[in-house]
Amino acid sequence: MVVYKVFSNCIVQTYKTSICSKVTLIYMVFLILTFVPPFLIAYRSQGFWKKTEVYQEQPDVHFKHQLIIILENKSHGETLVWSTFSQLNNVVQNNLRIPVIKTKEEDVNKDGRFDSLDLKVEMPLHDEEEVYSVKMLLFFDYELYTYSNLRMEGLGYFFYNSPLAGSQLFMIGELRLHQREPLSNKGRDERFNIPIIDTNDRNTEKYTIEKILNSYVRRNVTTYLGNEYVDWKTGRGAKKPFIISLNILYPEETIIYKTGFWQLLKWAWIQYAAMLLIFLYIIHQIKDFVFRNQLFSTIVDNPLKKH
């Protein structure tokens, strides 16, 4: 006759004792050894409370059509300036030049957010004028939405100089985010959504690059131009303008933010549970050996003996 297994179950043998006994004390020790060491190991191994986290997001960037341009002539010690700020233009009237400016922002992947800015500046020069140095400040609206809801006015500063007089400058770079603190994971953060240059302030000293940068970099969240590549061309023809061509990319950023309560708890629980499973198995094996071999006297309840 052929037989086969149709069902199986386990026979549980229990071990009993009174509350006021040595075995109860041993049982409490086992409980402590099961649950406390995993917590201590997880906590001391760093990262138990994961207070910050990172994610990636394409920022929503818009060029504000505000900029400051400074061209320097080493041989004559002259500086040519133009900006979109009338207060600054009034101060530098003797060195003011009106350029032709063309801008275009493109959304290459059609996700509703711009990916780059093309900026072309044609600065008129006299034939005897030569450009050896270029400084530019560009102003942007910068927003994040996914986890950190941030809106601020950002700044891009560009500087280049050459021992040779130039006719054209081409630069391609990226507008990057710099954090000195993690962003909040909830609420709208508009601490830095204020003008970098206060146009209502009549103090013209605040329009110097030194003052602007000194004030701006003290913010905990800023933007900057990075990963720059520059091509400087010489040989400007008669009556030709000095041409500046900038291609600024708006890349995806890795954002550091503060974790919320439930995310903090979830991460801690995963680490604790990983250690707990190991200790549950080890302590169970120890208890099985101790009670099965009656190292401490207990009342054994064996269901097989009842039949």
Q: Cα dihedral angle (92, 95, 100, 104), rounded to 10 degrees? A: -50
Give the length of the chain.
Answer: 307
pLDDT score recorded for residue 6: 74
pLDDT score recorded for residue 119: 96
pTM for the model stands at 0.79
CB atoms within 10 A of CB 239: 9
Q: Which amino acid is at 286?
A: I
pLDDT score recorded for residue 76: 60
Q: Of all residues in the chain, what percent are helix, strand and coil, respectively (each to 5)?
A: 25, 40, 35
Pairing of strands 100-106, 14-16: unpaired
pLDDT score recorded for residue 75: 56
> In angstroms, rounded to a whole number, what is the distance separating the alpha carbons of residues 182 and 256?
5
Query: Which residue numbers in the chain have pLDDT < 70?
Result: 1, 74-77, 201-204, 304-307
pLDDT score recorded for residue 263: 84
DSSP secondary structure letters along 161-177: EEEEEEEEEEEEEEEEE
Burial class (CB in 10 A: 0-12, 13-18, 19+), 82: buried
Burial class (CB in 10 A: 0-12, 13-18, 19+), 130: buried
Chain centre to alpha carbon of residue 228 = 20
Q: Which sequence spans correspond to the domains of the chain?
A: 14-50+260-306, 61-258
pLDDT score recorded for residue 299: 79
pLDDT score recorded for residue 137: 96
pLDDT score recorded for residue 49: 84
